[in-house]
Chain A
Amino acid sequence: AQRVTQPEKLLSVFKGAPVELKCNYSYSGSPELFWYVQYSRQRLQLLLRHISRESIKGFTADLNKGETSFHLKKPFAQEEDSAMYYCALEAHDYKLSFGAGTTVTVRA
């Protein structure tokens, strides 16, 4: 069975500082990994997926199969980045498993 762990429930950074959200996973197969974001009063939405290798809103995430991690990073946090972030893994049977989420607060 797959499992996604986000060790930080809360993360507070200053505007302009780097931010890194940790995500570790366990899965016996080859995973597809995602980061979802939920801004205040908005729906859960896809931020990025590892296979696209895109940088979205300045965020990047690298899949490290050796460490089974998929950490989300941004070099310079902005106030609009304040949100709830979820790491998710899609197994071969299309089941999407989410971590518990990390609330990010970017302070001015």
Chain B
Amino acid sequence: DAGVTQSPTHLIKTRGQHVTLRCSPISGHKSVSWYQQVLGQGPQFIFQYYEKEERGRGNFPDRFSARQFPNYSSELNVNALLLGDSALYLCASSLSSGNEQFFGPGTRLTVL
């Protein structure tokens, strides 16, 4: 198993655009969480999904949304991009909520 995979590795967008980031969990893991990591800070919780339902949401505006598919993969969508959305976006999977989270390599988003 390759572990948690994320795509794309990095991308560049301009202000106002939208972006979709993808995450494939470890086989057998049913929970996926998303984090935003701005340079010099620790990861900040955005969403957690378990069995395709939202389990938790962090303090992020409604421009951020996510979903989980029947195969437990997940997408994070960000609309109306701002310069401040530039960050590393991390995905983590776990067997279920409360279990050890395994992190992916992240997607580096740059907003110009």
Write the residues of chain A forming the contact surface with B, with a CB cutoff of 8 angstroms. 4, 6, 43-46, 49, 86, 88, 90, 93-101
Contacts and interface: CB of A to CB of B under 8 A. Distances in A.
B104 A94 contact: no
B105 A43 contact: yes
A86 B44 CA distance: 12
B101 A46 contact: yes
- Interface SS majority for chain B: loop
5 contacts: A93-B56, A95-B48, A96-B101, A100-B40, A100-B41
Interface in B37-72: 40-45, 48, 55-56, 58
Nearest to A84: B42
Interface of B: 3-4, 33, 35, 40-45, 48, 55-56, 58, 90, 97-98, 100-105
Given A96-B101, A99-B42, A100-B40, 13 more contacts: A4-B42, A43-B4, A43-B104, A44-B103, A46-B101, A49-B100, A94-B56, A94-B97, A94-B98, A95-B45, A95-B58, A98-B42, A98-B43
B96 to A, nearest CB: 9
B103 A96 contact: no
Nearest to A87: B42
A17 to B, nearest CB: 26
Contact of B98 (A4, A88, A90, A101): A90
B41 A94 contact: no
A86 B45 CA distance: 14
A29 B35 CA distance: 23
Given A43-B3, A45-B103, A101 B56 contact: no
A47 B98 CA distance: 16
A69 to B, nearest CB: 17
